[in-house]
């Protein structure tokens, strides 16, 4: 399937590790140019070194996206380097387990700043270029937005708000032809997820307990599967009539667990 993404420019926040890395790789495979944004930790540095050796059309920008000015700097870099922007993937964030009892208002607000506010900041600053290109936005949310999880109020609030913003922006940007959709992963074995597993008394047993409850195939969703859906939504050629949608890519984990 030709997605007509060759030469298109896409910003991917958190684009150097985990699901973001998978999205970056999928975009590069389609011939797109990627601006991958993140804190440039160990995973990002490894990926950046690999991309440099391969000569891939991928720029890495180190930024702390909780600061609005750094979001603005990322967009300005993209304009000065590429002169255009065709897509924005808001993906960066982490489940920091700020719960109702385990957190406090200060930690709650800081978690929203880290997980939610930059989705708005990136879209706000990217809007002029996206309007020029009639581009697309994909917000990576989470099944936690639909189901809750327990002990993670701030993350759940951020992910739920991302779904609301998806439909709000789809409505607001409809007149200028910008499509906005969201993708909701559930259980994906990213480096961040593995670190959480490693805190369990028996990581292998904990992983088995989870996978046994994923209806389709009794396995974790692969990052490449999240990426494939995301890249499809960025394609005006193949998903040009899709906007304001929430796509759950989770092997039936969210809705079909009653079949177990």
The residues, any chain, with a CB within 8 Å of residue 54's CB and separated by 6 or more, are none
The answer to whether 193 and 254 have CB atoms below 8 angstroms apart is: no
Extract the runs of DSSP E, i.e. beta strands, from the chain: 9-13, 33-38, 58-62, 87-90, 136-140, 179-185, 246-249
d(CA 184, CA 146): 9
d(CA 161, CA 154): 11
The answer to whether 72 and 125 have CB atoms below 8 angstroms apart is: yes
**Six-digit token string for 28:** 């590069």
**Residue 119 bears catalytic tag:** no
Minimal CA–CA distance to 141: which of 122, 110, 164, 124?
164
Environment class of 215 (CB within 10 Å of its CB; exposed 0-12, middle 13-18, buried 19+): middle
Environment class of 26 (CB within 10 Å of its CB; exposed 0-12, middle 13-18, buried 19+): buried
Q: Which of 119, 120, 125, 155 is catalytic?
A: 155
Residues annotated as part of the active site? 155
């Amino acid at each position: 399937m030709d997605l007509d993404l060759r030469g298109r420019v896409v910003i991917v926040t958190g684009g150097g590790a985990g699901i973001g890395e998978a999205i970056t790789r999928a975009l590069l495979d389609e011939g797109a140019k990627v601006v991958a944004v993140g804190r440039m930790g160990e995973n990002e540095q490894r990926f950046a070194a690999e991309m440099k050796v391969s000569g891939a059309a991928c720029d890495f920008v180190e930024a702390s996206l909780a600061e609005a000015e750094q979001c603005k700097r990322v967009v300005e870099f993209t304009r000065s380097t590429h002169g255009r922007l065709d897509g924005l993937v808001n993906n960066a964030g982490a489940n920091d387990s700020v719960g109702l009892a385990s957190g406090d208002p200060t930690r709650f607000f800081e978690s929203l700043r880290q997980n939610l506010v930059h989705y708005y900041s990136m879209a706000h600053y990217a809007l002029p270029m996206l309007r020029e290109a009639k581009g697309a936005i994909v917000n990576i949310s989470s099944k936690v937005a639909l189901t809750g999880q327990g002990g993670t109020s701030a993350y759940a609030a951020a992910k739920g708000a991302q779904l609301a913003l998806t439909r709000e922006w789809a409505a607001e940007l409809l007149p200028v032809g910008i499509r906005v959709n969201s993708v909701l992963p559930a259980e994906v074995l990213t480096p961040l997820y593995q670190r959480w597993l490693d805190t369990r008394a028996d990581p292998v047993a904990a992983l088995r307990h989870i996978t046994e409850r994923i209806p389709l195939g009794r396995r974790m969703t692969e990052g490449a599967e999240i990426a494939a859906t995301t890249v499809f939504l960025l394609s005006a050629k193949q998903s040009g009539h899709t906007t304001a949608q929430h796509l759950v890519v989770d092997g039936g984990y969210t809705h079909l667990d009653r079949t177990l």
